[in-house]
Amino acid sequence: MLTIAMPKGRIMNEALSLFQQAGWPVPLQMELDSRKLVVSIPEAGFTLFLAKPMDIPTYVEYGVADLGVAGKDVLMEQARDVYELLDLGISPCRMAVAGKPDWQPDLHPRVATKYPRIAESYFKEQGEQVEIINLHGSVELAPVIGLAERIVDIVSTGQTLRENGLVELGCIAEVTSRLIANKGSYRLKGEAIQELLNQLEQVI
C-alpha cells in the first residue's frame, strides 16, 4: 500500500493526469474538487491525500506519505531529507530575480521573496549584500510600492511581471515538479515504488 501526498491546486491536475496516463486508476479531477482530503483506492494499492504544496516534503520526510509530488522551488527552499526520484516535467517555471527595468542598486539593497533561503543563498553566492524581506504572497507588489528594489519568485510566462511593469533580471534555477520519496519507504516499498517510477517514465 503506497500513500501519496498530492499538492492542492494547479499542479494537482497535471500530476493526476500524468498518473492516469501511466495507468494508475487515480480519481478524476472532478471527484477531487470536493472538500475530501483523503482518497483511498485499496484495489489499486494506494491512498492519495491532498495537502498544501509547501507541506508535501514535510509529510514525506516524516514518512506519513511514502511518496509525494512537490515543486523544485519548495524542495530547494526547505532542503528536506527525502529522495528526489523523478522529474515529472510538469508546471515548468523558473526561480528568478526580477525588478523594474530601470532598477538601480540602492545603498541598502532589499529583496522581497516567499523563498528566503533560496534568495539568501543565491545572493551569498553572488557576493551581494542584500536584506531579504520575507513575504507570503503578491511579491510583485514590493518593487511597485517601494518595499524592495528586487524580488525573487517563480516566473512561468512572465505575465504577472509584465502587468506590474517588472522584468526578469536573472534566473536562479529551472523549476518543475518532482516525485519525492521517504527514505524508509524507498527501502521497504522499493518494488512498488520502482514499478510506479517505470510507468511514469514511460509517459513523461
Partner 1 sequence: MTKPQIFEKPMGFRDFPYLLAEKKRLVEDRVRQQFVKWGYREVYTPTLEFFDTVGQASEIPDSRMFKLMDRDGNILVLRPDQTAPIARLVTSVLKREPLPLRLFYHGNVFRAQEKEAGRSSELFQSGVELVGQSCPEADTEVIALSIEALRACEIHFPIIALSHVGLLEGFLRERIDHKAAISKLKQTLGLRDLVAFRQILACLDLSSADRQEILAITRSGLEHDQWKSLMKLARTEPVHDAFVYLERVWNNLEASGCTQLVKVDLSLVGSLDYYTGVYFEGYADGQGFPLVSGGRYDQLYQEFGVDLPATGFALKTDRLLEASPLKPEFPVRLALFYEPHLQKKAWKKAKSLRDDGWIVIMQPMEEGQIRKDLPVDDVLVIADEGGTSLC
Binding flag, residue 3, partner 1 (CB under 8 A): no
Residues numbered 87 to 116 that lie near partner 1 (CB under 8 A) are 87
Integer Cα distance of 59 and 33 in angstroms: 21
Inter-helix orientation angle 190-203/10-21, to 10°: 100
* Stretch near partner 1 under the rule CB under 8 A, chosen from 10-18, 23-31, 48-56, 81-89: 81-89
Residues numbered 167 to 186 that lie near partner 1 (CB under 8 A) are 178, 182-186
Integer Cα distance of 99 and 148 in angstroms: 9
Out of 25, 36, 44, 62, the residue judged to bind partner 1 by CB under 8 A? 62
Least distance from C-beta 35 to partner 1, angstroms? Answer: 27
Out of 194, 195, 198, 204, the residue judged to bind partner 1 by CB under 8 A? 194
| Nearer of residues 27 and 184 to partner 1, judged by Cβ | 184
The number of residues that bind partner 1 (CB under 8 A) is 22
Q: 71 by DSSP, 3-state: which?
A: strand
Q: 2 by DSSP, 3-state: which?
A: strand
Binding flag, residue 190, partner 1 (CB under 8 A): yes
Integer Cα distance of 139 and 96 in angstroms: 12
Strands of the sheet with 167-175, listed across from one edge:
131-134, 110-113, 150-155, 93-99, 167-175
| Nearer of residues 28 and 62 to partner 1, judged by Cβ | 62
Number of C-beta neighbours around residue 9 at 10 A: 11
* Stretch near partner 1 under the rule CB under 8 A, chosen from 34-42, 78-86, 100-108, 134-142: 78-86
Residue that is written with C-alpha cell 528594489 in the block: 149
Summarize as ranges the residues that interact with partner 1 (CB under 8 A): 61-64, 81-87, 178, 182-188, 190-191, 194
